[in-house]
């Protein structure tokens, strides 16, 4: 035991506390934590217990019960998974650049406006990958009003994405030309950090957002990415979320979901057109 830090019990969580945490997370984020995730919850709460210097997970749950709004952001951050990478599920970005952008150049020619939403953006790799794909596909010498909204439930990852500073090894699989164009080293040669260039950062707006809560944006969006998010929701919440996405998607617009997800049985407002790629049709 470290000096000044009380002994804590990180190997158990009562059934009542586990049910309480599951219900709280579901209520505020829509995320369904199954019984099979008990060990994951235990391990992540133990880290939070250490940070706060509390004697046990039971004591932590008592703190949350007493004042949930004070700890809720940290709790959700601890229990949500942020696994991401630049150009993850690469076929989506190929489809975006080779089919959607040429289509929008014609469809939106009068306004020269493109709007995309990355919902569940994590630490920013996805929205910056989208922005790179779009800007590389736009014709040179033409101005297009392209903006990308990046949202996530976790305030900490939103701030990380906004800062846009990454370890250089995150770019190891990226082609050299793309690395040179969109990233710059920060902190000197001895610091293993790179930052997204301003030209790209200024196209992306990071905002914390609970997908189960109210939305301030009005749309319409030409494209929405919501990958590896709906898998954590129950059927009712999935249906509601997809319906809200459809409300904000332009007619003929696109929705991208994760490789292990499907809209089968959830909606008739989007039709599948490719691997985890959907298009909004006539209402």
Residues 229, 226: Cα–Cα separation, whole Å: 6
24 close to 31: Cβ distance less than 8 angstroms: no
Residue 274 CA, distance from chain mean position: 22
Give the active site residue among 152, 201, 222, 227: 152
46 close to 8: Cβ distance less than 8 angstroms: yes
179 in catalytic set: no
107 in catalytic set: no
Q: Which residues contact 247 (CB under 8 A, 6 or more apart)?
A: 219
Beta bridge partners of 147: 115
Residues 185, 180: Cα–Cα separation, whole Å: 10
58 close to 14: Cβ distance less than 8 angstroms: yes
Asked if the bond preceding 177 is cis, omega within 30° of 0, the reply is no
Residues 55, 77: Cα–Cα separation, whole Å: 21
193 close to 165: Cβ distance less than 8 angstroms: yes
Residues 264, 244: Cα–Cα separation, whole Å: 16
Q: Are strands 165-167 and 183-185 parallel, antiparallel or unpaired?
A: unpaired
Residue 275 CA, distance from chain mean position: 20
Give the active site residue among 38, 44, 63, 112: 44
Residues 130, 122: Cα–Cα separation, whole Å: 13
What 3-state class would DSSP assign to 255? strand
Return the active site residues.
44, 152
């Amino acid at each position: 035991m470290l000096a000044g830090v009380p002994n804590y019990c990180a190997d158990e969580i009562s059934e009542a506390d586990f049910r309480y945490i599951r219900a709280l997370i579901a209520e505020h984020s829509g995320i369904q934590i199954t019984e099979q995730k008990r060990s994951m919850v235990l391990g992540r709460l133990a880290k939070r217990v250490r940070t706060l210097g509390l004697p046990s997970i039971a004591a932590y749950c008592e703190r949350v019960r007493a004042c949930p709004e004070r700890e809720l952001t940290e709790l959700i951050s601890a229990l949500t998974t942020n696994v991401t990478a630049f150009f993850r599920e690469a076929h989506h970005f190929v489809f975006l650049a080779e089919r959607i952008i040429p289509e929008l150049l014609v469809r939106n020619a009068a306004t020269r406006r493109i709007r995309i939403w990355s919902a569940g953006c994590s630490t920013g790799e996805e929205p910056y990958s989208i922005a790179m794909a779009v800007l590389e596909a736009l014709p040179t010498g033409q101005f297009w009003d392209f903006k990308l909204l990046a949202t996530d439930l976790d305030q900490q990852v939103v701030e990380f994405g906004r800062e846009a500073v990454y370890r250089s090894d995150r770019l190891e699989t990226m082609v050299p030309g793309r690395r040179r164009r969109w990233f710059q080293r920060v902190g000197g040669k001895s610091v293993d950090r790179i930052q997204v260039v301003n030209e790209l950062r200024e196209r992306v707006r990071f905002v914390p957002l609970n997908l189960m809560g109210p939305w301030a944006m009005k749309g319409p969006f030409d494209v929405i990415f919501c990958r590896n998010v709906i898998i954590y929701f129950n059927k009712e919440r999935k249906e509601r979320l997809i319906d809200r996405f459809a409300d904000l998607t332009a007619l003929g617009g696109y929705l991208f979901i994760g490789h292990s997800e499907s809209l089968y049985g959830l909606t008739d407002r989007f039709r599948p057109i490719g691997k985890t790629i959907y298009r909004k049709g006539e209402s």
